[in-house]
Structure 1
């Protein structure tokens, strides 16, 4: 399910009573306010305030639901505490069941809500600012494609050109977490036959990008590569990319590539 559809489902969710917990947690290690894992204190204090309010109201059923939901959320964050990225957004309820967890690489303002519905306003704003996007990194030997949403990589794909068979094919054996070693990337080192066919190969890959954009629900497409290659590939796209960044990042890890796009 695409994120836009999930946000709409969250907006439509109603429990009838207050038993939906919405958690926005800033875990950005680069934020001065998060030194020494300060997010743990913010999480504890935020949930404690809700707990305190419910105890004062003496609504036993509501308090029971909150304690169950709080434990589930705390367990989730504890299990993923070493891989929280810049922020976490969680919507949870016991009745009716709701469990929606998102670890993101974009700014999050911490906040904790206990209502009869998910509080999605900040999440919706984040999505509008950082929607689903395809990041395309063309080179002579391959085209790398990152499928992203809110700065988080959902899939890292590589399509390799076989000079013998002269076609593009996805590299199914690629390690999505590691660096990618690519062959020579200078025009002077490429056989003239391949140089002459480069436009045709890029054009075929551009058609694949168009298909991926529709299937993955990309709202944006960004191209990153050495100047000549990035321009050549961008020109084959049916629609102008949202940005074209002239840097060779083909061997870089996903978070470095994404930061280049987010900081453009």
Structure 2
């Protein structure tokens, strides 16, 4: 999802009565002291009922029907994803079904509900500013993993691995494969030999991969870049990249889950 384009699209929406644009920012953060008992369910119920009662009193039957249709969709979405919630849920919806934006995020929001002519994107814009599109590059000698994030959640993951026979970096899709050079017992000597070879060629091999990472950052519009790995390797790679590096972390997290990796930089 290109959030910049999505925000611009939402900003163009304008609907007059009996149609309206529904906007919901719902705090579902289990770490929030105000959410310990799943209070988001009460906030959701009260927020939706408030508009329903207002429209019932207003007497516009068609507008009420439009809102109730969206209310059902919102309730169904929350019930379907109840066990997958993170810190927040943001929804934009229109009765004509031209807009249905429903996403769960790892960033906090202030709970708000709107039923107006326009989509209320202020919080979404601020979140995009606070949690921009970021590339997290994790390094462990001949293996590199890139976690692309936006609004605190992973949106893409890439793997590169050095082919020791051809000395070329190859991109893999899906979970990265076990490296043939990693071993134990009888293979420990082979691993030690590889490490010595890698250290002798690290500068040259990182110089080869750096342009690929720069291109990925440019093509995917990364606003921030973080490098995670041993300080010697991250500094070496940073020196070969043209893109500025915004943060370094001296830690081995190559095999960590994407959500855990993202938490380390937020």
Distance in 2 of aligned mates of 1:153 and 1:248:
19
Larger displacement relative to structure 2 (196-205 or 140-149): 196-205
Residue-pair matches, total = 258
Whole-Å Cα distance in 1 between the matches of residues 128 and 54 of structure 2?
31
Give TM-score scaled by structure 1 length.
0.90
Q: Which residue pairs with 2:222 in the alignment?
A: 218
Among candidates 233, 238, 241, match of residue 237 of structure 1: 241
Q: For 1:201, which of 174, 198, 205 is the aligned residue? A: 205
**2:54 pairs with 1:53:** yes
Which residue of structure 2 lines up, in the alignment, with residue 4 of structure 1? 4
Using a 3 Å threshold, how does the CA distance of structure 1 residues 249 and 189 change in structure 2: closer, same or farther?
farther
- TM norm structure 2: 0.90
* Contact 2:25 2:111 survives alignment (8 Å): yes
Q: How far does residue 72 in structure 1 lie from its aligned partner after superposition?
A: 0.8
Distance 1:30 1:180 in 2: 37
In the TM superposition, residue 56 of structure 1 has moved relative to its aligned partner by 1.5
RMSD over aligned CA atoms reads 2.3
8 Å contact from structure 2 (residues 181, 194) kept in 1? no
Q: Which runs of 5+ in 2 are unaligned?
A: 184-190
- CA deviations on 1:203-234 (whole Å, 9 max, x unpaired) are 23221122112222211111111211121122
Q: Secondary structure in 1 aligned to 2:22?
A: strand
> Which one has a bigger Cα radius of gyration?
2
Residue 155 to residue 183, structure 1, CA distance change in 2 (3 Å): farther
| Distance (whole Å) between structure 1 residues aligned to residue 179 and residue 225 of structure 2 | 21
1:70 — aligned with what? 71
Partner of 1:122: 123
Aligned to 1:163: 164
Structure 1 Cα separation of the partners of residues 92 and 193 of structure 2: 53
1:71-110 matches, cutoff 5 A: 71-95=72-96, 97-110=98-111
Judge conservation of contact 1:11–1:120 (CA < 8 Å) in 2. Answer: yes
Q: Give how far 1:252 is off.
A: 1.3
Q: Segments of 4+ in structure 1 off by > 6 A?
A: 179-182
Q: CA deviation at 1:16?
A: 2.6
Which shifted more, 214-223 or 123-132? Answer: 214-223
Give the SS at the match of 1:74: helix
Please say if residues 15 and 95 of structure 1, whose CA atoms lie closer than 8 Å, have aligned partners that are also in contact.
no
Paired residue for 1:133?
134
1:10–1:230 Cα change, 3 Å: same
1:14 maps to 14
Q: Is 2:159–2:176's contact at 8 Å kept on the other side of the alignment? A: no
